[in-house]
Structure formats: structure tokens, C-alpha cells
Amino acid sequence: MGIPDRDFQLLTTCGDESEAALVRALLEANGIPCLVQGEQHRSMLGVAGAFIELRVLIPSGELERARELLRSVPQEEPAGSAPTATPDPDSEEAHCAVHGQRATRTCERCGTFLCASCEGATTGVCEDCADRKGSGAQVQRGRKRKVVAWLILLFLFGPPFLLLLASTLNALLN
């Protein structure tokens, strides 16, 4: 889809390419153009690309509609799959680590299994992530990613740059 020059706003950040692809597909299926910033950089850097944050950007005029669309996506399992009273320990179903009940969903941020008894089951965020949200940990994680990315780039390109600089200075002085 061709996207003309517009003022883009951040809608959300994604943890990996598959999550970004799902968000993009949802938006484009509803006629909302979007860009995923960092997608090509992440794939070009391979292992080091995991430190690049994928940012979903949309036109400013579509921001509220896109947020509402993301909120409207059902996060719970279908109605016929209510949690069982006594989970089978040999079962391959996921269980909440706190309550031992069958998991009905996962935390939207860290992937922790949540059951119907968990405080964050209605919001989709576990207690730990809810505590971190108010503490500014998301900002800290972004800063750490940037620092690690710069250190990796310095490690990869620093030595060749220093050799080039040394040989140039040697040639100029001789």
C-alpha cells in the first residue's frame, strides 16, 4: 500500500516481527496505513537486531481509530473454554504459576500465564508488569537497548575505523 507523506504518530511498539506483522495486518485490513519502523534494520543485524525496537507508526488522523481497533481485538479465549476447577498436572495446558489454575490468557508484555483469579486477568497485564508500568521501567528498557546497540556497533566497527585512522595519520606524518 502506497503511503503519501504524512505526519506519523507512534501507535505501539512490538516485541518481535510476528507481533508487528499481526498489528500491520489488522490495521491494513481496516484501511489504516501503517509503517513498521526498525523492521529492516532488525533483520539486517541478525542477532544484534533483537535490540532494535519495532515501532508501529500511523498517520496522525487515524490514531484514535487505530487505538480503538487494537482495544477491540479479543484477548480472551472463546466462550466454551472456561477454566477447569482442578487442573490435571500431567496435562499439557498452561497453568498460572501463582494460583495453579488453567491459564486463560497471557500477559501482553512479558508472556506470563494469567488465570481468571489473577488481578491482571481483566487488563491483560500481570502484576509485575503493572508495577513496572508506573515506575518508568519501559523508558529504562529503551535506554538500555540503545546503549547495547551502540556498544555492539562500536565493537563491530571500532577496530577497523581505528586501523584506518592510524594508517591515514601515519601516511600524513611520513
Sequence-separated (6 or more) residues with CB below 8 Å from residue 129: 107, 108, 109, 110, 112, 120
Q: Is there a contact between 111 and 125 (Cβ–Cβ < 8 Å)?
A: no
pLDDT of residue 120: 65
Work out the pLDDT band at 171, boundaries 50, 70, 90: very high
The predicted-structure confidence for 88-116, as pLDDT tens digits, reads as follows: 555 667 777 777 777 777 777 777 778 87
| DSSP codes of every residue in 58-120 | EEGGGHHHHHHHHHHS--SPPTT-PPPSS--TT--S-B-TTT-SBP-EE-TTT--EE-TTSGG
> Could you tell me the pTM of the whole model?
0.44
What 8-state DSSP symbol labels residue 47?
G
Report the half-sphere exposure of 28 (CA within 13 A, side-chain side): 13
